[in-house]
Amino acid sequence: MAKRVAFAIPGDLATRTGGYGYDRRILAELRHLGWQVEVVGLGAGFPLPSEEQAAAASRQLMLSPADRPVVIDGLAFGALPEAAAALQATRPVVALVHHPLACETGLAPDTAERLRESERAALAAAHRVIATSEPTAELLVDEFDVPRERLEVIPPGTDSVPQATGSGRGRLHLLSVGAIVPRKGFDVLVEALSTLTDLDWQLAIAGDRSRDPGAVERLDTLIAQHRLGERIESPGTVSPEHLARLYLGADLFVLASHFEGYGMAYAEAIAHGLPIIGTTGGAIPRTVPPAASRLVPPGDVEGLARALRDVLTNEASRRALAAGARAAATALPTWAQSGAAFARLLEGLA
């Protein structure tokens, strides 16, 4: 029997975020395993589409072939409960949840509650739900009423990459990776670093600057207010080759996320053997082991500053955390393993 699946994705699949990166790699692995994958474009506007955008996406979903499962990326799935219910009657429906929509930082309370109720209704129509981490799966059970037996945890894979060599002696190079949106906590990071100007460091923030103009303006304003323009660069989205060079030349990875459904940038830092300073938001403590990191509560500027100062001023601590990262890297899943798990789930539906 032919192995066929429809994979419905909102927006531009080429977008360089963790969620889209997961989708691209899983699609590639499925095709490598002999699956015929039809990508169904759902258009723009998600997770808060207009009525017209939601209606157009629903029409696209209903036009997808009924003889195969349909996997719907969570950025759109939670906003389309009626379409999910209609699809359920004719084909297996799989929800791929990177993190619940209502967990996005900065949402108005009524918007967050609307997304929570919409996603809960949509998930009720899914035959299977894929979460990218165990904490996200637990959240879906506890707060979104998803039966555990319908859940599968398929974490992102990680590539084998060279170990970071660092900047050499002198100014320490810090790296932070993520789209400039409130959830990533770049304002918290800049506030923490503003108290460490007596130390010799520089920071590169690699991430999309087009998604949230307000967050970008706040970041740039804080950098200017604290006179850190010569220390912090935020070039926006960089090429994979440029990003690889940034990881290789970094001495420390730092990301102040308020919440992560998995934390792919953290995992990539582990793969490069970098010491990590981060937060306890969402799945981060499960992705980043204590031996490789110093984690503080999300939004804790003073705690983040203390952790940064301790690690920046202690080479032995950086070496120990780097050794912890190198050890943890051996246990990270590969993309081949994640793709095989995805394929087994789809085969079970058939």
Q: pLDDT value at position 168? A: 83
Q: CATH number of 4-157+333-349: 3.40.50.2000, 3.20.20.140, 3.40.50.300, 2.40.10.10?
A: 3.40.50.2000
Q: CATH number of 172-329: 3.40.50.2300, 3.40.50.2000, 2.120.10.30, 3.30.70.3270?
A: 3.40.50.2000
Q: pLDDT value at position 317? A: 97
Tokens of 310: 């301790």
What is the spatial distance between Cα 256 and Cα 253, in angstroms, rounded to a whole number?
10
Nearest one of 23, 14, 5 to 96, comparing CA atoms: 23
Q: pLDDT value at position 184? A: 97
Q: What is the dihedral of CA 319, 325, 329, 335, to 10 degrees?
A: -130
Using an 8 Å Cβ cutoff, are 215 and 236 in contact?
Answer: no
Which residues of the chain fall below pLDDT 50?
A: none
What is the spatial distance between Cα 140 and Cα 75, in angstroms, rounded to a whole number?
15
Is there a shared CATH topology between the 4-157+333-349 domain and the 172-329 domain? yes
The answer for residues whose C-beta is within 8 angstroms of residue 51's C-beta and 6 or more apart is none
For the chain, the structural domain boundaries read 4-157+333-349, 172-329
Q: pLDDT value at position 1? A: 53
Instruction: Give the amino acid at 29.
Output: E
Q: What is the dihedral of CA 329, 331, 335, 336, to 10 degrees?
A: 140
